[in-house]
């Protein structure tokens, strides 16, 4: 569990059913290492399936990396209310279905509802959109979320930091996410 000081800094971490749940796992591991903020985690039904298929792990193992965990069906959870103060929310990875739900305000699960609340409260929302190639519909949904105040942060491979492993690539994306929330980190080698 995070310290008292860390509890004053909460970050909602949504995980949707896109490929690359490894990004969510690495982000939660780094958050735990840093210990400077509390993670409030919610996995969509699709995320649970992706974790089973791609990681060959029980979704409960991923949830165990978070400080507070919510059921995606619980639309009355703390993170569904604007009065529950947070730094904002990241959806990592963010499927195109979840992107569409956020863009249209279709809050049929807690991941989408928490994102909707984050936007309405003018808090930082970061979507780690995972799809390629992109259709016109995807691009328009990204445009809509961006105009509403969200940030689209696709996990684009970078090589300026001289990655040697997949973990290096995951850490670089996670560091970029943390940067969006002003969370100090030395997760990857920065350009100098």
Domain limits, the chain: 10-181
Q: Count Cβ neighbours within 10 Å for each residue of 87-116 and write b for 16 or more, e otherwise.
A: bbbbbbbbbbbbbbbbbeeebebbbbbbbb
Place of tokens 């569990």: 1
Q: Residues within the annotated binding site?
A: 17-19, 44, 95-98, 130, 160, 176
Contact (CB, 8 A) for 90 and 11: yes
Predicted confidence (pLDDT) per residue in 25-74, tens digit: 999 999 999 999 999 999 999 999 999 999 999 999 999 999 999 999 99
CATH code, 10-181? 3.40.50.1950
pLDDT over 80 at 77, yes or no: yes
User: Looking at residue 191, what is its pLDDT?
Assistant: 87
Predicted confidence (pLDDT) per residue in 125-137, tens digit: 999 999 999 999 9
∠ Cα 60 11 127 (to 5°): 85
Place of tokens 């699960």: 109
Contact (CB, 8 A) for 35 and 145: no
Q: Residues within the annotated binding site for FMN?
A: 17-19, 44, 95-98, 130
Residues of the chain with pLDDT > 90: what percent?
93
CA distance 139 to 137: 5
Neighbouring C-alpha atoms within 13 Å toward the C-beta of 114: 36
Place of tokens 């004053």: 8
Q: Residues within the annotated binding site for dimethylallyl phosphate?
A: 160, 176
Start-to-end C-alpha separation, the chain: 35
Could you give the strand order of the β-sheet that contains 124-129, starting from the edge strand earlier in sequence? 68-71, 38-43, 10-15, 88-94, 124-129, 151-152
Contact (CB, 8 A) for 168 and 131: no
């Amino acid at each position: 569990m995070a310290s008292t000081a860390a509890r004053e800094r909460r970050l909602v971490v949504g995980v949707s059913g896109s490929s690359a749940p490894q990004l969510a796992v690495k982000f939660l591991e780094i958050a735990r290492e840093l210990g400077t903020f509390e993670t409030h985690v919610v996995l969509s039904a699709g995320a649970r399936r992706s974790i089973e298929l791609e990681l060959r792990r029980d979704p409960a193992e991923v949830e165990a990396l978070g400080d507070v965990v919510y059921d995606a069906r619980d639309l009355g959870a703390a993170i569904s209310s604007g009065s529950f103060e947070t730094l904002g929310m990241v959806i990592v990875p963010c499927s195109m279905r979840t992107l569409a739900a956020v863009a249209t305000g279709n809050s049929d699960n807690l991941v989408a509802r928490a994102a909707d609340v984050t936007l309405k409260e003018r808090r930082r929302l970061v979507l780690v959109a995972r799809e390629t190639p992109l259709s016109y519909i995807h691009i328009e949904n990204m445009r809509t979320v961006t105009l509403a105040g969200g940030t689209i942060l696709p996990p684009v491979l970078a090589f300026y930091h001289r990655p040697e492993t997949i973990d290096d690539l995951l850490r670089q994306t996670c560091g970029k996410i943390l940067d969006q929330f002003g969370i100090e980190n030395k997760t990857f080698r920065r350009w100098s």
